[in-house]
Amino acid sequence: MLNIKKVAVATIVSSTMLAGLVGCQSTSNGFANPFVKKQPVPAPRYIPNLIEGELTKLDIAPQKQVCPSKLPMQCILITRVSTNESILLPYNAIKGFQHKQGERYTLNARPLIDQNNNQATGEWQLVNIVSTTKVDGTSWGHR
């Protein structure tokens, strides 16, 4: 009688171990196995399809200003000549343009637009500098 119990216990233990080993293998039935870690798959890298928008004449203030952002950064105040709308841009947001303190600029630029979602990127492409004027002091008024 004792031998039958030992055989039964041995059979149960070996069956449990076998089930545990089988459970560690990947399954083909579509169910996730909690014991097998899958490597994370990175999201595909988003690549914008940039195009240049409409030619816009911009006035650039002679003094850089502090950007309203979490990181300390300097911005330039630009004004669209056609609408008199003013916005702050990071100092390097106009590609091909180098701002110098104390100089007011009028320039032609095109906004860069992501054609995938038809949204402006916040960056511009310089077309040409129309005029540069040396300005004394820190205040700037619209012409």
Instruction: Return all residues near 127 (Cβ < 8 A) that are at least 6 apart.
Output: 55, 107, 108, 109, 110
Domain containing residue 63:
50-134
Q: CATH no. for residue 121?
A: 2.40.50
Does any domain span residue 129? yes
Q: pLDDT tens-digit profile of 53-69?
A: 999 999 999 999 998 88
Does any domain span residue 41? no
Does any domain span residue 86? yes
Q: How many domains does the chain have?
A: 1
With vertex at residue 52, the alpha carbon angle to CA 133 and CA 80, rounded to the nearest 5 degrees, is 40
Determine the Cα–Cα distance for residues 91 and 100; give it in Å rounded to an integer: 10
Q: Looking up tokens 């054609």, which residue turns up?
A: 115
Beta carbons of 143 and 124 less than 8 angstroms apart: no
Q: pLDDT tens-digit profile of 9-53?
A: 445 545 555 455 444 454 555 666 677 778 888 888 888 899 999
Does any domain span residue 82? yes
Does any domain span residue 113? yes
Q: Looking up tokens 């947001």, which residue turns up?
A: 93
Does any domain span residue 74? yes
Does any domain span residue 23? no
Q: pLDDT tens-digit profile of 79-138?
A: 999 999 999 999 999 999 999 999 999 999 999 999 999 999 999 999 999 999 999 764
Does any domain span residue 55? yes
Place 70 in a pLDDT band, splitting at 50, 70 and 90: confident
* Backbone φ/ψ region at 116: left (φ over 0), alpha (ψ -120 to 50), beta: alpha
